[in-house]
Amino acid sequence: MLLAAVSGPDLAANGYSEEEYLATGTATSFRAAGPLTAEGRFDLELSGETAEFATRVVVRRPIDPDAFNGTLVVEWLNVSSGRDAAPDYTYLARELIRSGYAWAGVSAQWAGVEGGNPTIAVPNSADRALTGLAGIDPKRYGDLHHPGDAFCYDIFGQVAHGLETSPALAGLTVVRKLAVGESQAAIALSMYYNGIQPLSNTFDGFLIHSRGGAVAPLGTAGTGIALRAALREGTPTRLRDDVAVPAIVVQTETDLFGHLAYYPARQEDSDYFRLWEIAGAAHADKFQIGPFESILECPLPVNRGQQSFVVRAALRALDRWASDGQRPPSAPRMQVVAGETEFALDDNGNVVGGVRTPAVDAPTTILSGAPAPGASPICALFGTTTPLPEARLRALYASAAAYLARYRAAVDAAIAAGFVLADDRAELLAEAQPDLVSW
């Protein structure tokens, strides 16, 4: 069971299987060997404290070994809702399946297994305090046990390593392992990259999606990470630049300011680092929530940007980078106005700079990652979509044909720049809205 509003492509119809597995072992915790510095260059060491664990892994893989591309994508499941979710699988599923990846979702954190209060409550949800997997289905998950988030980093790494030779991937030869995670999981992966990867060398690449400025703390035994406190009290921290393992950080407008506050940790690209900031994108969006938008009760329609296409391109770029050293393109940063607390906007109200998608370069709406006035904490993560006034649309486009020509050009420009895949061209073209300019 994985919490998801959108199921994604039919696995069986695409030659994939899905199975759950029990992963057991003895995990260790880590402690800092010195100061946890803002540049990310800090050293961790084994604490000497160990604990038994029994957690859940969901594996989606090609049935035919000949269809496997050699890359295992391991997602740190997100527990912000109080139970496991796989937001990056939702964004990446079409690319994962068409390109032959294997995917594993790891219940790495205390909240996913043992339960607890959600970091962000969902309106109209009875699950204000959740019981974890064992409470949801005692018969299925009653043997699970998590010793606390002091051990979550080692649990994640051990499971990823163990999958290579496990029955879950029988017949598949794993050549590369990529770690991915979004939001709370991205904040945890930022700590993993800086502190644990130099010790374990478990992964060949990292896709860190929508992280905050602070990295997750090292955690404590017997409980979960207090994410809000970690973001509020933690030091904005960059990814270290002395690890020869590629990392792509994909950020939205929502992530740079507000309580996520990534902006002070923003860094320049380097030999093993790329930052892609997506204009017109929010921390979560309509693509992620699908038909359940109404449950959120947001004051304005949630963000309908096109970040899914960029995240897919980021995964393929990371895979190539890890496999043959082909470096992804560097992206322009989103422009920030004086005072460095908000973005510069173009004449249409969309952010200037960043990774551009057709929805912002051939706009019919204002796409924002900022919260609407009076938005709830969860709605603040979903941004807004506001239609452009008809007068503005008429000034931009003489006709539907003119709009479509500009939209097609924007699609091809994004593909040529390397931030959208040619495989997604037809799907992206289908998102054009000529009915809004049909005069």
Q: Which domains does the chain have, with CATH numbers?
A: 12-388 (3.40.50.1820)
Give residue 128's pLDDT: 47
- Comparing 103-117, 168-182, 345-359, the range with the smallest average pLDDT is 103-117
166 to 100, 157, 204: CA distances (angstroms): 19, 14, 19
Q: Do 283 and 381 meet the contact criterion of CB atoms below 8 Å apart?
A: yes
Q: Where are the alpha helices (DSSP H) in 325-423?
A: 358-361, 390-396, 400-417
CA distances from 143 to 2, 99, 289 (A): 18, 35, 31
Tokens of 231: 């973001």
By the 10 Å C-beta count (0-12 exposed, 13-18 middle, 19+ buried), 41 is classed as: middle
pLDDT at residue 1 in the model = 60
User: Which of 210, 297, 312 lies closest to 254 in space, CA to CA?
Assistant: 210
Residue 274's pLDDT band, with cuts at 50, 70 and 90, is: very high
4 — pLDDT class (breaks 50, 70, 90): confident
Q: How confident is the model at residue 125 (pLDDT cuts 50, 70, 90)?
A: low
Helix or strand holding residue 304 (H, E):
none
User: Tokens for 386?
Assistant: 């506001």
For residues 51-62, average pLDDT = 98
Write the DSSP string, 158-190. HHHHHHTTSGGGTT----EEEEEEETHHHHHHH
Look at residue 122 in the predicted model and tell me its pLDDT. 64
Q: Report the percent of the chain where pLDDT is more than 70.
A: 97
The DSSP symbol for 390 reads: H
Output the DSSP codes for 260-297: T--GGG----BTTEEEEEETT--SS-HHHHGGGHHHH-
- Residues 306-318 pLDDT 10s: 999 999 999 999 9
Q: Cα 37 to chain center, whole Å?
A: 24
DSSP H helix total and E strand total for the chain: 16, 10
269: its two tokens: 């690209």
Assigned token pair, 136: 């949801």
pLDDT, tens digit, 9 for 90 and up, residues 198-241: 999 999 999 999 999 999 999 999 999 988 888 999 999 999 99
pTM above 0.95, yes or no: yes
Q: What is the mean pLDDT of the chain?
A: 95
Helix axes 184-191, 152-163, angle to 10 degrees: 90
pLDDT given at position 121:
65
Q: Is there a contact between 318 and 96 (Cβ–Cβ < 8 Å)?
A: no
| Section 20-24 average pLDDT | 97
What does the alpha-carbon distance between residue 189 and residue 212 come to, in Å, rounded to a whole number? 11
The length of the chain in residues reads 439
Span 58-67, average pLDDT? 98
Q: How far apart are CA 191 and CA 153, in angstroms?
A: 9
Pick the range with the lowest mean pLDDT from 123-132, 155-164, 285-294, 344-353: 123-132
Report the alpha-carbon angle 54-59-64, nearest 5.
145
Kindly state the tokens that stand for 374.
């009076």
Helix, strand, coil fractions of the chain, as percent rounded to 5: 35, 20, 45
pLDDT band at residue 118 under the 50/70/90 scheme: confident
The pairing of beta strand 247-252 with beta strand 205-209: parallel
Residue 288: closest CA among 2, 1, 7: 7
CA pair distance 335, 375, nearest whole angstrom: 25
pLDDT at position 367 is 98
CA distance linking residue 53 with residue 36, whole number of Å:
27
Compute the distance between CA of residue 124 and CA of residue 142 in angstroms, rounded to an integer. 28
Rounded to an integer, what distance in angstroms lies between the CA atom of residue 247 and that of residue 239?
A: 9
Amino acid identity at 112 = G
